[in-house]
Amino acid sequence: MRIRKIIQTIFFIYTIVAGIWFYVYINELKNGNYNILKPSSVEGFLPISALLGLKRFLLTGIYDPVHPAGLTILIAAIVMSIIVKKSFCSHICPVGFLSELISNAGFKLKINRWISGFLGSLKYILLLFFLYVVFYQMNLQQITFFQNSSYNKIADAKMLYFFLDISATGLMVIMALVLLTYLFKNFWCRFLCPYGALLGVLSWLSPFKIRRENENCIDCKKCREACPSDIEVYNKESIFTVNCIGCRECTKNETAVQQHCLKMISKTRYYGKYENLLSVAAPLIFLLIFIIAYFTGHWNSTVSNEEYARFLNSIRSLSHL
């Protein structure tokens, strides 16, 4: 098993464990046991809250005290993208891991490039909408008010309840996404994920990119078959696109290895046999930022278990409005 797959599997298993732990945590609070630790990593599934926290942090230097882990995960994803491309998507994200598993078992149908271009714009429209609301419409006072609201303090539990008691509409949407991912490579990641769009734009700053050696290329197109993002690698001299997740699957397919036609390079050097160090660098950056956040008090929420338990009693009636 390749290093990237091992890393993806480890983080996915941890996500499952954290989800079960969070479910147990909530049930223990309901039973009056407040001596239990909350798995803060579940805040990674609150991207809007993290984006609000990022704006407040940039304007005031105040780290989100309610969902600090969510903000930490967002910052880690941004830093990873700037240094080693969209490696959060290709190494850490559990949704990306599931998407690849479903796609690998599916049909991998091709989408017309014009339709693909239209669909690809959807995630940027969603991203611009969220950026507009958070960074233009909402002022600092509104953000602070929302962060301290009862709804936000228990937003992770609201997310859990959404999946535990999912509506028919919600279930249909998820099933549709699974089906589309089965038919077309990584449908959600390629066309709908707004945070993937943000990380893709930031990945332009990364010094690393895939370069195709035209004289060694035999036009087998196996690089595209290997690419989770369905990029037409064989048509490009270098892969400088927001859709590249830095997984380097194209460089590892059998033909590319034999022909030496695809290489991971930076501005100054070719990495060759040391290329796998980039896969190790991705989780190390993530873990380093986690360690810094944890030991500086920027990982665990300041919301006490007693306060959290009080909100659980009225969770059905809490609204973001």
Residue 209 reports pLDDT greater than 90: no
Q: What is the pLDDT of residues 5-34, one digit of tens each?
A: 999 999 999 999 999 999 999 999 999 999
Q: Evaluate whether residue 272 is within a structural domain.
A: no
> Is 100 found in the same domain as 247?
no
**From CA 124, how far away is CA 191, in angstroms rounded?**
9
Residue range 265-289, pLDDT digits in tens? 665 555 555 567 778 889 999 999 9
pLDDT above 90 (res 52): yes
User: What's this model's pTM, rounded to 2 decimal places?
Assistant: 0.91
pLDDT of residue 67 exceeding 70, the answer is yes
Domain shared by 196 and 231, yes or no: no
pLDDT (tens digit, 9 = 90+) per residue, 105-126?
Answer: 888 778 877 888 888 899 999 9
Check residue 320 and give its pLDDT.
55
Q: Which residues contact 219 (CB under 8 A, 6 or more apart)?
A: 234
Q: Are residues 186 and 218 in the same domain?
A: no
User: pLDDT of 127-172, one tens digit each?
Assistant: 999 999 999 999 999 999 999 999 999 999 999 999 988 999 999 9
**Counted domains in the chain:** 2
Q: Are residues 129 and 175 in the same domain?
A: yes
Domain match, 162 and 235 both: no
Give the number of other CB atoms < 10 A from CB of residue 221.
14
Q: By residue range, what is the domain housing residue 11? A: 3-203+278-317
Residue 274 has a pLDDT of 56
148 and 32, same structural domain?
A: yes
